[in-house]
Amino acid sequence: QPVLTQPPSVSAAPGQKVTISCSGHSSNIGSSYVSWYRQLPGTAPKLLIYQNNQRPSGIPDRFSGSKSGTSATLGITGLQPGDDADYYCGTWDTSLSAGVFGGGTKLTVL
Amino acid sequence: QVQLQESGPGLMKPSGTLSLTCAVSGGSISSSKWWSWVRQPPGKGLEWIGEINQSGSPNYNPSLKSRVTISIDKPKNQFSLKMSSVTAADTAVYYCVRGGPGGGHGADSWGQGTLVTVSS
């Protein structure tokens, strides 16, 4: 059972906005940076957001991240067919002294 | 831009020891403080296995700690994973990664992944 909780699936139409939640505890999200990843079928995950809300070079500003308390959110605006993928949140758990990921969310662009 | 490439056996028998190596190219392994291993069973989510820093100090997933060893070889610009007593449950795509999910820069570079199948 993943330490971080994400909805199994979300969907939205092209051009719309979607948010993906990631819920944790004070020992993980509440006390550590959150990162977000996108995984296209058959490929390795790719970093979208680090330090809760920072975008690596090359990641468009359609992608945004936020954190409040023990929850984090990934936002994607202007949805495109290519955004159809699995999305994962990740952080460090101070109680486990281990990295942890959410179970993943399948985004379907209708 | 740093690139990572996993290498190791694709097929293993139960009870054996899995050995994977990650070759880092396009930059020095000393360029990043932490290097990690992450795995993904077929059709399932990501699981953090562990990480190692420049000083050779590792952190491991508590659920795997008794079976896992991660090491770093700076002269060869590579780091490695060993997992003992493998079972079918260890069948997964194994990724080597620069950084980690909770690090200051996240897990910002990933290898393409290598599928390891444990079967008799």
pLDDT tens string A54-109: 999 999 999 999 999 999 999 999 999 999 999 999 999 999 999 999 999 999 99
Q: Please give the C-alpha separations between residue A3 and each of A22, A39, B7, B86, in angstroms, as whole numbers.
A: 10, 19, 29, 23
3-state secondary structure labels for all residues of B28-61 = CHHHCCEEEEEEECCCCCCEEEEEEECCCCEEEC
Chain segment A12-50, per-residue pLDDT in tens = 999 999 999 999 999 999 999 999 999 999 999 999 999
Determine contact: B5 vs chain A, CB below 8 A.
no
Contacts of B120 (CB under 8 A, 6+ apart): B13, B14
Pairwise CB contact (< 8 Å): B46 & A90: yes
Q: How far apart are CA B108 and CA B98, in angstroms?
A: 6
From the CA of B103, how many Å to the nearest CA of chain A? 7
